[in-house]
Chains A and B, each alone.
Chain A
Amino acid sequence: GEQVEQRPPHLSVREGDSAFITCTYTDPNSYYFFWYKQEPGASLQLLMKVFSSTEINEGQGFTVLLNKKDTRLSLNLTAAHPGDSAAYFCAVSASSGSWQLIFGSGTQLTVMP
């Protein structure tokens, strides 16, 4: 079945720098992708959902890139600030009836003032 590898597990950047997180997935037929943010002690909040038909998606302060050829999904937080400090998880919707989410192992991001 689908497997998702997320890198790096830990990332520390200075305020104003970019933070880049990458996930690679194994099923080339996967079509729906998600990024979740989890603040300390809290639940998961959806950051963005990405459809395979769109390769670049922009949100407030971040960009999501989808490279279908390399089966790679990336999150780039531009001009990170301390409020971005959290765990970030990518997830791929399984191309089967359950539509279960296959999660990456997460990236703990720390943004230093």
Chain B
Amino acid sequence: EAAVTQSPRNKVAVTGGKVTLSCNQTNNHNNMYWYRQDTGHGLRLIHYSYGAGSTEKGDIPDGYKASRPSQENFSLILELATPSQTSVYFCASGDGTGYAEQFFGPGTRLTVL
């Protein structure tokens, strides 16, 4: 069974603080993705990775960094969190082929005060 887990599930941060969202997958997938979900926008891609050591900018990368230290782990880093980054964040993994679906984690609800 494909498995993508995220931590924390909920996070409250202060403006200007540093936030790290973590994602782990046991699918042995090469590709991993970070999305944010906001009402009226569906899911938008922030960063993605082709494998360990690789990070690429998605459609809305400003204010975010990513780190892929291993095949299994992919982190999203907000160095200076802002209220506009309040959102639900989803991590996903995929095997890197166009016809394969992405498997999503349970999501992290982030509130920046």
Contacts and interface: CB of A to CB of B under 8 A. Distances in A.
Interface of A: 6, 9, 31-32, 34, 36, 42-46, 49, 51, 89, 93, 95, 98-101, 103-106
B42 A6 contact: yes
Interface of B: 31, 33, 35, 40-45, 48, 50, 56, 58, 90, 94, 96-102, 104-107
Contact of A105 (B31, B42, B56, B98): B42
Contacts of B33: 100-101
B94 to A, nearest CB: 7
A34 B103 CA distance: 12
Contacts of A36: 104
A89 B98 CA distance: 17
Q: Which among A31, A51, A100 has the greatest number of chain B C-beta atoms within 10 A?
A: A100
Contact of B58 (A31, A43, A100, A105): A100
Given A42-B106, A43-B90, A43-B105, A99 B96 contact: yes
Given A100-B48, A100-B58, A34 B101 contact: yes
Contact of B31 (A9, A51, A99): A99
Contacts of A44: 43, 90, 104
Contacts of A43: 90, 104-107
A32 B98 contact: yes
A104 B101 contact: no
A9 B45 contact: no
Nearest to A42: B106
Contacts of A105: 40-42
Given A42-B106, A98-B56, A100-B48, A89 B43 contact: yes
